[in-house]
């Protein structure tokens, strides 16, 4: 157990050495600003701390139940922080603040869409998922349906979401380190992949949970500190800040009105549908409900997460608005010192420039390290979800038909986590120079069009049958992927065609509707003997979902 962690430390040492050897010419080419030793030092401290947690977690991970769901021993408050850690991504910190910086009101709409998903998750799923499941979301979908076929479908749906989202995170990690630390892209991607494999392989869900908790605390603290420092420039007056932002923004008072990003109501609605319902289908989010001891703690988890996430997006709104004034009026943050020109480091850098302006190198270094720690925590959660889908759903339940022993399943889980890390590294390097924004749309569209419809109908509709679930899940997966490929984001920007066949970047409202329709029509026309048995089992499932009677959270072996 000690040796793999020592290897990870050795890789980290080489990573720091690479930073020390980075030439000024390379740094100028990549990020056009000085190497921030504070950021690197803080990042190293975070990694050492999390490797220590992994070492401690390894001693606590005795059974597959411990590996998959931390033995159900995580409290509601702790799990809420971990959920928030899963959701408060670097993309939210960098991307949303830059959207508010450039577009004002439109960026705030994105923040609202991200937040609205959580009350829905709490009231629709939290308790029922905890009462019905044990390890993965396939447990819920296959509760009264055909185990083999439904688990296979749900596992592949989850793996699709995990792989697409991992590519986004890995590319983001490489670019972020280039931008903030001045290190080579390939080194950054390999370090992230190795660390996430170590966290999951040896620490399981315990290590993953605590990595996410630490990251959430750091993110909340860093964003709050930056917001306080920023508000001090406006006499701690929100009104004053917005007045100055309106005066400084290129759109003037128009920054507080909808603009080009919401010019098409259908596309904005489709985006919101994808973000809201896609969140309720993300496997690495939903599987966190299995880590708590009962349904009450599951509900508490979402309540706590909702509070922290809501607070975080309010802070992000403050940061984006403050940056309009503090960064937008400072020529030092623009190439060639020209106001209104291109920001140094690219369009996602307003919050980092804001940190530099109000807190100097120390706050910039801290926020840079937190942003990268955020990616580590998210990829650890994604890897855990992918590993569980392979080792539990596909291997233990489908291939071995619930007859695998603990040693076999543990061995497969470790191989799976290393394999997923390897694939993530490879794809991260292959997609180095690609625009991966379309993968975000694809991730949430698949989650909203495969996992969400099947889970919702499995829990709430007595008429659902295996045939209907298969038809709807496959239709949702095919339509989501096809429509994204045919959208402007891929068909025009990636493949180079003049006009997109499907006019919208975010197809969730269409693909999710297709999934629900085919699930409904497939179930409605299924009148076989097995379908009747599946409908009869709904009453027992309903009682367990509502009351938790019969739910132990136990895992085989």
Please give the structure tokens belonging to residue 224: 């709050």
Q: Which residues, in sequence order, are bridge partners of residue 203?
A: none
Is 490:448 a contact under the CB 8 Å cutoff? no
Place of tokens 């603040």: 97
The CATH number covering residue 397 comes to: 1.20.1730.10
Using one digit for the tens of pLDDT, what is the confidence trace for 196-251? 888 888 888 888 899 899 989 999 999 999 999 999 999 999 999 999 999 988 88
Domain boundaries, position 356: 2-444
Q: What is the mean pLDDT of the chain?
A: 83
Flag whether 242 is in a domain.
yes
Flag whether 518 is in a domain.
no
Of the candidates 421, 394, 492, 514, which has an alpha carbon nearest to the alpha carbon of residue 151? 394
Flag whether 203 is in a domain.
yes
Flag whether 436 is in a domain.
yes
Is residue 334 classed as helix, strand or coil in its secondary structure? strand
Supply the pLDDT for residue 181. Answer: 67
Rounded CA-CA distance 340/348 in Å is 15
**Rounded to the nearest 10 degrees, how much is the dihedral formed by the CA atoms of 287, 291, 296, 302?**
-50
Flag whether 485 is in a domain.
no
Total domains present in the chain: 1
Q: What is the pTM of this model?
A: 0.84
Supply the pLDDT for residue 448. Answer: 93
Flag whether 287 is in a domain.
yes
What is the Cβ-side half-sphere exposure of residue 372, based on CA atoms within 13 angstroms? 30
Give me the helices (H) in 104-184, please.
Answer: 105-121, 127-132, 138-141, 147-180
Other Cβ atoms within 10 Å of 314 Cβ, number: 14
Is 288:294 a contact under the CB 8 Å cutoff? no
Spell out the SS3 assignment of 424-453.
Answer: HHHHHHHCCCCCCHHHHHHHHHHHHHHHHH
Q: Cα dihedral sign for 472, 478, 482, 484?
A: positive
Flag whether 506 is in a domain.
no
Using one digit for the tens of pLDDT, what is the confidence trace for 287-301? 899 999 988 898 899
Rounded CA-CA distance 134/272 in Å is 30
Is 330:111 a contact under the CB 8 Å cutoff? no
What is the Cβ-side half-sphere exposure of residue 333, based on CA atoms within 13 angstroms? 23
Give me the helices (H) in 344-403, please.
Answer: 350-388
Query: pLDDT tens track of the chain, all 557 residues?
Result: 445 444 444 443 333 333 333 333 333 333 444 556 777 788 788 888 888 888 888 888 888 888 888 888 899 999 999 999 888 877 778 878 888 888 888 777 777 777 788 888 888 888 898 888 888 888 888 889 998 999 999 999 999 999 888 888 888 777 777 766 667 888 888 888 898 888 888 888 888 899 899 989 999 999 999 999 999 999 999 999 999 999 988 888 777 877 766 667 888 888 888 888 998 899 988 889 999 998 889 889 999 999 999 999 899 999 999 999 999 888 888 877 676 678 877 777 888 889 989 988 888 888 888 887 888 888 888 899 999 999 999 999 999 888 888 888 889 999 999 999 999 999 888 887 766 667 777 888 899 999 999 999 999 999 999 999 999 999 999 999 999 889 888 898 878 888 989 988 889 999 999 999 999 999 999 988 889 999 999 999 999 888 877 765 444 44
Is 298:289 a contact under the CB 8 Å cutoff? yes
Flag whether 460 is in a domain.
no
Rounded CA-CA distance 13/168 in Å is 26
């Amino acid at each position: 157990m000690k040796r793999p962690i020592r290897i990870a430390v050795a890789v980290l040492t080489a990573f720091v050495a690479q930073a020390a050897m980075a030439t000024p010419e390379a740094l100028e080419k990549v990020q056009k600003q000085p190497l921030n030793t504070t950021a690197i030092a803080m990042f190293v401290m975070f990694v050492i701390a999390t490797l220590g947690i992994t070492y401690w977690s390894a001693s606590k991970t005795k059974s597959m139940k411990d590996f998959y769901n931390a033995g159900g021993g995580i409290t509601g408050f702790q799990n809420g922080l971990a959920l928030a850690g899963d959701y408060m991504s670097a993309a939210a910190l960098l991307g949303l603040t830059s959207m508010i910086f450039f577009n004002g009101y439109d960026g705030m709409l994105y923040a609202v869409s991200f937040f609205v998903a959580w009350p829905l998750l709490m009231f629709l799923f939290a308790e029922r998922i905890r009462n019905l499941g044990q390890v993965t979301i396939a447990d819920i979908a296959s509760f009264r349906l055909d185990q083999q076929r439904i688990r296979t479908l749900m596992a592949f749906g989850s793996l699709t979401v995990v792989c697409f989202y991992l590519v986004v995170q890995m590319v983001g990690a490489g670019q972020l380190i280039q931008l903030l630390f001045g290190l080579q892209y390939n080194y950054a991607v390999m370090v992230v992949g190795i660390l996430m494999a170590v966290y999951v392989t040896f620490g399981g869900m315990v290590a993953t949970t605590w990595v996410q908790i630490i990251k959430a605390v750091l993110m909340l603290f860093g964003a709050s500190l930056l917001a306080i420092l920023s508000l001090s420039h406006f006499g701690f007056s929100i009104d004053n800040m917005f007045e100055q932002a309106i005066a400084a923004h290129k759109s003037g008072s128009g920054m507080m009105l909808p603009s080009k990003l919401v010019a098409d109501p259908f596309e904005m609605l489709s985006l919101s549908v994808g973000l809201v319902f896609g969140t309720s289908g993300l496997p690495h989010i939903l599987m966190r409900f299995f880590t708590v001891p009962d349904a009450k703690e599951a509900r508490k988890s979402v309540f706590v997460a909702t509070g922290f996430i809501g607070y975080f997006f309010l802070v992000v709104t403050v940061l984006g608005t403050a940056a309009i004034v503090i960064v937008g009026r400072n020529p030092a943050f623009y190439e060639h010192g020209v106001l209104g020109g291109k920001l140094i480091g690219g369009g996602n850098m307003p919050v980092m420039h804001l940190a530099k302006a109000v807190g100097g190198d120390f706050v910039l270094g801290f926020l840079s390290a937190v942003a990268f720690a955020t990616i580590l925590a998210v990829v650890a959660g994604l890897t855990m979800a992918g590993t569980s889908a392979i080792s539990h759903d596909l291997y233990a339940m489908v291939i071995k038909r619930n007859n695998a022993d603990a040693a076999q399943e543990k061995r497969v889980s470790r191989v799976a986590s290393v394999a997923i890390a390897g694939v993530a590294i490879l794809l991260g390097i292959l997609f180095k120079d690609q625009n991966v924004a379309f993968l975000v749309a694809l991730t949430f569209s698949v989650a909203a069009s495969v996992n969400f419809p099947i889970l919702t109908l499995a829990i709430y509709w007595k008429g659902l049958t295996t045939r209907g679930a298969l038809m709807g899940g496959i239709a949702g997966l095919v339509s989501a992927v096809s429509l994204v490929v045919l959208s402007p984001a891929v068909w025009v920007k990636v493949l180079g065609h003049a006009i997109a066949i499907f006019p919208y970047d975010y197809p969730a409202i269409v693909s999710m509707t297709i999934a629900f329709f085919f699930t409904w029509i497939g179930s409605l026309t299924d009148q076989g003997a097995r379908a009747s048995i599946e409908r009869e089992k709904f009453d027992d499932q309903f009682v367990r979902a509502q009351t938790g009677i019969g739910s132990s959270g136990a895992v085989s072996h």
